[in-house]
Amino acid sequence: MVSYILRRVLSTLPVMGIVALFVFSLLYIAPGDPAAVIAGDQASPADVERIRQSLGLDRPFLVQFGSWLWNIVHGDLGTSIFTNLPVAKMIAQRIEPTFSLMAITLVLTIFVAVPLGVVAAWKAGSWVDRTIMAFAVFAFSLPVFVVGYVLAYVFALQFEWLPVQGYTPLAAGLWPWLQNLILPALALGSVYIALIARITRASMLEVLQQDYVRTARAKGLGQQNILFVHALKNAAVPIVTVIGIGIALLIGGAVVTESVFAIPGLGRLTIDAILRRDYPVIQGIVLLFSFLYVLVNLMVDVVYTLVDPRIRY
Amino acid sequence: MDRRTVLKGLAGVSGLAVTGGLSMPALSQGAAARTLRFVPQANLANFDPIWGTQYVVRNAAAMVWDTLYGVDATLQPQRQMVESEEVSDDGLVWTFRLRPGLKFHDGEPVLSKDVVASLTRWSARDPMGLMLKAIQNELTAVDDRTFKWALKAPYPKMLLALGKNSTPCAFIMPERIAQTDPFKQIPDYVGSGPMKFAKGEWVPGAKAVFEKFADYAPRQEKASWLAGGKQMLVDRIEWVVIPDPATAAAALQNGEVDWWESPITDLVPSLKKNRNINVDIADPLGNIGSFRMNHLYPPFNDVKVRRAVLTALSQEDYMRALVGDDNALWKPLPGFFTPDTPLYTEEGGEILKGKRDLAMAKKLLAESSYSGQPVTCVVAQDQPITKAQGDVTADLLKQMGMNVDFVATDWGTVGSRRAQKTPPGQGGWGMFHTWHAGADCVNPAVYNAVRGTGDKAWFGWPTSANVEKEVAAWFEAKNLDEEKAAVKRLNKAALEDVVYAPTGFFLSYTAWRKNVSGIAKGPLPFFWDVSKTA
């Protein structure tokens, strides 16, 4: 398994290289000028031009790309055009809120969606199944920001149980940390719960038709045992796949959720950087997300081997 | 390594993470009592008030860096760091003396050499500073508390230049910081203002923190805008960046923040209903809406076309699109200067007054050189002010029979595209929308947008010899009456040449919780004299 993981890690390098070139090229041809944003509304065209020169944005494309790539290879993601802070530091400042939000959402999703899907499959065709699937359709259809606003209105403004916005680091304690993440995780997780519940139900329905399940029932095993020990384990591969693919969904959703709940995470950093054309920050974040996505896919492959010992590489 | 070993390892790691989280201490709640939590109009993305001229940077910088003079609520520059000044009889040599006891946040005294370095950096970026630099003989430190500015020609607006609140302000920094290239960002944020910047707590896009500077020596006079005694009544000010207006409103209602600088008009009614919240006009100097036409290319290189547009333009339509039905928030503006300020004038403003005459506009257009070519109207959709104005303009031009090429884009792209001097069909533009803070439209010195210097003018590059003649007259004016006379003529000339199209004057609100007091109305949020009870 170790050699397999090593091979997979090495294979990510060309992928990351292509992503880097793509990102750099895209930003180069995209309209917009950070110098104009920096200069402000009262600056003269000459001021804008001087700022552009001081940022090195007047250099040819290949020179800029070469210089950027050289720095990346040496572990330097560059410096933000606007904040004058190292991009690595800015990402480090923002990584905890985003990862916390994604982790809570993921845990919430798995603990809610998988049992819902299992129960729906077990009670297929009954009112329980229809209720769960109706909820799934509903949750799937609602935009994240709508769910976010409704949750904030009800649980923060009306009941005053939870804060509307912000983030408290985990170092400040478990409950303060959780307090700020419950509503955003519910908002972000709603679509994800719906998706996983539906996939779990479909996968379980297929497995529950298998002979070995009938045998287990004939042996007199309890329903819980059959569902969660025998059937779910064998239905897990497509579920794990969708959970892995869904990480990309979470990253996209985090951008919106962080804006709605004013969480200082990578999503908001991305939006701010794009609106200001802060190229080094955009490039750093896209590279990080690409790396994460590749890593998640690698982990999914590893998990396959854990949930199904027959899978070997 | 087998599957069971990996599973056991993962279980161990997750167990450690959980127990580690539980053992962390809780935050102290007592610190919140002397902390003011403020939601700024925008993100504090950089913190060099000379390099970056955004208002949000200026607003934060006013706490950290002090100025030699400060404009008060009557728009007059008053002494701030300066104790006294002398000007020679011929008006060519200014000698300033600093107040004793001024200190930077690092404990070092404020010396003349710091002032000289700061003014040198500032004068490379500021329009008034550039004028001073052009006529400068020398700027030198005479002794630790005295410095001298020798000029080749008199500059009667010296004190205004040093105390104005338009960006970039002449903030005083330590020499070692002020020696930074004005086109590069400063590496450190040490000032001599009433608050210190907590650099370690700064998360651009999320939070900026300012702590009370114990050694600050305020003046004895009562504070008025940037002038007078800047008494800090809270120990800590936290800027909480909340980009979503609905979330900011909810946070204010929930007591998670204390003061929201710029609530959007749509949410003001719900804030007004909350008994714990005060809502009031933020800045009596307000804003001036505008769209600029490209004077270099057809159709707007023909003044008849520009006049035709003004003839049909209804400022009420623009202002309703911006502020809705709240009549307290807008007024018509048949001119370019901020209402209720000394130089306000409506001279030559007839073209913007009275019933709008679409038929006359069409007639003027027919008499012009316009031949049906598309008008490239570039409109930023991510700024509510530009979006609303752009929609009204597109409708106006269509009603006039013009062919509109409506380019919906974002503010970042507008910032780039408006600098293009190529023809509209080749990456350039025909018109774009923006707005100006009223504080920047009180006199010609701080008002780039009204200038008619052609290639050197602001985007749109209008050329107007008559406007420039009156700008010079204003600079040379000996008293307020002469200034008023010059600005009247300037206003008339700018409307005749249609330097740009003013779409009206509008105000905005600010909102704060009732346990906060001392908030002054003005062009920026002033934190001195603001107090908070538990």
> Tens of pLDDT along B311-327?
999 999 999 999 988 89
Residue B187: is the preceding peptide bond cis (ω within 30°)?
no
Confidence grade of residue B22 (pLDDT, cut at 50, 70, 90): very low
- Asked if A82 is an interface residue toward chain B (Cβ–Cβ < 8 A), one would say yes
Q: What is the pLDDT at residue B186?
A: 93
Judged against a pLDDT cut of 70, whether residue B15 lies above it is answered with no
Contacts of B251 in chain A (CB under 8 A): 164-166, 262
* Nearest-by-CA chain A residue for B126: A43
Q: Closest Cα of chain A to B65: distance in Å?
A: 18
Per-residue CA distances from B445 to B160, B169, B196 (Å): 9, 13, 31
Q: What is the pLDDT at residue A276?
A: 77
Task: Name the token pair of A254.
Answer: 């985090």
In the block, which residue shows the tokens 């307020």? B480
Q: Closest Cα of chain A to B202: distance in Å?
A: 10
Q: B91 or B5: whose pLDDT is higher?
A: B91
Chain A stretch 21-50, residues whose beta carbon is closer than 8 A to a beta carbon of chain B:
31-34, 36-48, 50
What is the sign of the dihedral through the CA atoms of B155, B157, B162 and B166? Answer: negative
Q: B56 or A1: whose pLDDT is higher?
A: B56
- Asked if B110 is an interface residue toward chain A (Cβ–Cβ < 8 A), one would say no
Complex ipTM = 0.80
The residues near A112 (Cβ < 8 Å, ≥ 6 apart) are A189, A193, A197
Give the best residue of A33, A107, A268 to mutate against chain B (max B CB count within 10 A).
A33
pLDDT tens-digit map of B329-362:
999 999 999 999 999 999 999 999 989 999 999 9
- Asked if A86 is an interface residue toward chain B (Cβ–Cβ < 8 A), one would say no
* Nearest-by-CA chain A residue for B6: A306
* Nearest-by-CA chain B residue for A171: B24
Task: Name the token pair of A117.
Answer: 């899907």
φ and ψ of A93, to 5 deg:
-65, -30
Q: What is the pLDDT at residue B31?
A: 62
Which amino acid does the sequence have at B280? Answer: D
Residue B465, classed as helix, strand or coil, is helix
- Structural contact between residues A77 and A85, judged by C-beta atoms closer than 8 angstroms: no
Residue A39 to residue B43, Cβ atoms within 8 A: no
Nearest to A51 by CA among A303, A305, A277, A309: A277
**A61-70: average pLDDT:** 84
Contacts of B248 in chain A (CB under 8 A): 165, 262
| CA dist., res. B462 & res. B497, Å (int) | 8
| CA dist., res. A312 & res. B2, Å (int) | 11
Contacts of A144 in chain B (CB under 8 A): none
Confidence grade of residue B417 (pLDDT, cut at 50, 70, 90): confident
Nearest to B79 by CA among B54, B102, B96, B56: B96
* Nearest-by-CA chain A residue for B458: A44
| CA dist., res. A228 & res. A98, Å (int) | 31
**A172-184: average pLDDT:** 95
Which among A44, A163, A305 has CB closest to B3?
A305
Judged against a pLDDT cut of 50, whether residue B234 lies above it is answered with yes
Q: What is the pLDDT at residue A42?
A: 60
DSSP-assigned beta bridge partners for residue B287? B437, B506
Comparing A120-124, B53-57, B389-393, B498-502, the range with the smallest average pLDDT is: B53-57
* Nearest-by-CA chain B residue for A263: B206
Confidence grade of residue A304 (pLDDT, cut at 50, 70, 90): confident
Which among B53, B247, B415 has CB closest to A261?
B247
- In this prediction, what percent of chain B has a pLDDT beyond 90? 79
- Structural contact between residues A149 and A260, judged by C-beta atoms closer than 8 angstroms: yes
Task: Name the token pair of B179.
Answer: 């020696």
- Asked if B46 is an interface residue toward chain A (Cβ–Cβ < 8 A), one would say yes
- In this prediction, what percent of chain A has a pLDDT beyond 90? 41
